[in-house]
Amino acid sequence: MRVLVTGGAGYIGSHTVLALLETGHDVLVVDDLSNSSEESLRRVAELAGREARFVQANVRDAAALDAAFAGFSPDAVIHFAGWKAVGESTQIPLTYYRENLGSTFTLLEAMAAHDCHQIVFSSSATVYGELSEPPFTEDSPTGATNPYGRTKHMIEQILADAAAADAELRVAVLRYFNPIGAHASGRIGEDPKGIPNNLLPFVAQVATGRRDKLMVFGDDYPTPDGTGLRDYIHVVDLAAGHLAALDYLGGHGGFHVWNLGTGDPKSVLDIVHAYEGASGVAIPYEIVARRPGDVAASYADVTRAHKELGWQARKSVEQACEDTFRWQSENPDGFADS
């Protein structure tokens, strides 16, 4: 297939692009590089032995997107592009609504104009909010607690309405939890610009001396050690989930939702200790106030993905920490080392 991947130079996107190329698909990446690096795609080509095409553009740029569709004629789209930090979204909510919703409108309009009828959407477990208790099933009540999560929830509703109005449109929504890890080669991994918003890259940067210490946002949650419980999934497993969803759409119409996680939650301090074990480095940390928009626990029931997609997470948190340590050790400044 010809697959257009928005945000494909980013962390999850680059691992998924690699999996697509290795499986034989042709890929076009559209990414504005606002929180990613083109170097990731050069390394993906090195690992895959073949290249993805690349267009540097914001997905909200209708003219650029129309040209990309016209030149590539994709059979399907995987939509990663978007702003993604929970804390930041509470500070600049309008930016999040403009970027995340606007890019989706432009993308769906381009798909319709160019007869592309399959889309896999990168959603988030943040859509579950505090209205239900984990483990979350795909039928659990939704209600995000922060602007980032609300944009994901709104996009899911937009996609459901679009699919209801267009019998040809096939939609897969993947609600995934906390991606961690890196490719086992150490060549691609998570390389956030500025201060990391996610736990493991921050821990990794503390271990290599780029950061002095980890800030743990709250130790008074109703969890075994007081820190937040999350479902951490290896990024390589997550990439495989996108390919499984794409395959499913090939034989099924309509709108579909799946959780991608492990169903086995770990606390913040569990991750700290796992990384200490992988790296042999003690991770200094400080307990600070809770972060706005965070919930105590978030983890998946992944039964539906097992049954319908034939997919399950296979890599452990320990493997993810080992892979992250390899990536960070070999690339202490991320892709800027190249």
Peptide bond preceding 135 in cis form (omega within 30 of 0)? yes
- What's the pLDDT tens digit per position in 73-99? 999 999 999 999 888 899 999 999 999
pTM of the predicted structure, to 2 decimals: 0.96
pLDDT of residue 85: 87
- Residue 220 CB-density burial (10 A; 0-12 exposed, 13-18 middle, 19+ buried): exposed
- What's the pLDDT tens digit per position in 151-169? 999 999 999 999 999 999 9
- What's the pLDDT tens digit per position in 216-249? 999 999 999 999 999 999 999 999 999 999 999 9
Give CB contacts under 8 A, 24+ apart, made by 39-44: 39/335, 39/338, 40/9, 40/10, 40/14, 40/188, 40/191, 40/335, 41/8, 41/9, 41/14, 41/17, 42/338, 43/14, 43/187, 43/188, 43/335, 44/14, 44/17, 44/18, 44/188
Domain segments of the chain: what residues? 2-181+233-261
User: Which pLDDT tens digits describe the chain residue by residue (338 residues)?
Assistant: 999 999 999 999 999 999 999 999 999 999 999 999 999 999 999 999 999 999 999 999 999 999 999 999 999 999 999 999 888 899 999 999 999 999 999 999 999 999 999 999 999 998 987 778 899 999 999 988 889 999 999 999 999 999 999 999 999 999 999 999 999 999 999 998 888 878 999 999 999 888 999 999 999 999 999 999 999 999 999 999 999 999 999 999 999 999 999 999 999 999 999 999 999 999 999 999 998 767 889 899 999 999 999 999 999 999 999 999 999 999 988 998 76
Q: One of 148, 221, 232, 248 is an active-site residue; which one?
A: 148
The CATH number of 2-181+233-261, from 3.20.20.140, 3.40.50.150, 3.90.580.10, 3.40.50.720, is 3.40.50.720
pLDDT of residue 293: 67
Report the alpha-carbon distance of residue 233 to residue 207 in Å, rounded: 21
Secondary structure class of 137 (helix, strand, coil): coil
Spatial contact of 176 and 260, defined as CB atoms under 8 Å apart: yes
pLDDT of residue 204: 93
Amino acid code (one letter) for 175? R
285 is catalytic: no
